[in-house]
Amino acid sequence: MEERRQTVFAEERKQQILELISKNQKIVVPELCNYFGVSPSTIRNDLRALQENGLITRTHGGAIRNSKVSLEPPPVTKQTQMLRQKEAIARAAVDLVDDGDIIAIGSGTTTLEFARKLIHKEKLTVVLNDIRLASFLEEHTNFTLFMLGGVLRNGFHYVNTAGTPLPRVSLDKLFFTCNGLNAAMGATVPDFHLAANVAAILERSSQAVLLCDSSKLGSVTFAQIAPLDQLDTIVIDSDADPDDLRELEAQGAELIVAPVE
């Protein structure tokens, strides 16, 4: 493992530790100290925090991956995963959009399917952080589009707006997706920058609508976007485990179950 002797923010370091553990299955404290150039106590504190969030299991002198934790697959892989389910979710979610709405759409393959179903709507104003969605809507609609500024993540399609103030806008609805959803942590993603971006947009939205395929249920990833009580509606496909759905409803979540064709 190559050394990474440079300043890394604590949350970035924990995210990278989780990625290293996933790649190597297990890791020991001295290796992490050498990699990040920090003290053993700093690494132990990071591992303790990751374990408290259910992301790893600490061992004597190191840690192993929690098998229930989901990390982000490459974009090419994501485009073909659960496609029928994502299409079903998109069909159901588009009925929540009214002509003339001001909406935001988060990054993701599920939200890309959602964007494809929007083309018959009229007079929408759409705030975006994903270049694929912006390109599609620019080509196929006459919507008013606003693209958030920031840094384009290498190999991915969303703009990291961390450190870039969001405009002071008022949005009718936010439609976004996640990599993990459970009753304890709500909606989570592997990248804390993306989580912070979407959470900031959520604060400016009157309604928050989560588009989540059934493969994400019961999983938890690194960074929380929002707990369940901040989600107005969760749109999920009919392949979801009924027990998982009942657990979400017991926490007060409003669900729309989309039939998979």
One digit per residue, the tens of pLDDT, for the chain of length 261 reads: 544 444 457 777 887 888 788 777 788 998 888 888 889 899 999 898 888 877 788 888 888 877 655 555 555 445 556 899 999 999 999 999 999 999 999 999 999 999 999 999 999 999 998 888 999 999 999 999 998 877 676 555 666 655 556 778 899 999 999 999 999 899 999 888 888 889 999 999 999 999 999 999 998 888 899 999 999 999 999 999 999 999 999 988 899 999 998
- Taking residue 125's Cβ as centre, other Cβ atoms within 10 Å add up to 16
56, two tokens: 């790893």
- The per-residue pLDDT for 3 is 46
- The per-residue pLDDT for 69 is 58
- Angle between helices 10-24 and 29-36 in degrees, nearest 10: 130
Largest pairwise CA distance in the chain: 59
For the chain, where are the E strands, in sequence order? 26-28, 56-59, 62-65, 102-105, 125-128, 144-147, 151-152, 159-160, 171-177, 180-182, 186-189, 205-212, 223-226, 233-237, 255-258
| DSSP one-letter string for 94-148 | HTTPPTT-EEEE-SSHHHHHHHHGGGG--S-EEEESBHHHHHHHHHH---EEEEP
For residues 70-98, b (16+ Cβ closer than 10 Å) or e, as one string?
Answer: bbbeeeeebeeebeebbbbbbbbbbebbe
- The per-residue pLDDT for 80 is 54
Three-class DSSP category at 240? coil
- The per-residue pLDDT for 154 is 54
Domains and CATH numbers, the chain: 10-65 (1.10.10.10), 75-258 (3.40.50.1360)
- The per-residue pLDDT for 191 is 84
From the list 210, 173, 185, 178, the residue with the least C-alpha distance to 89 is: 210
221, two tokens: 């990833």
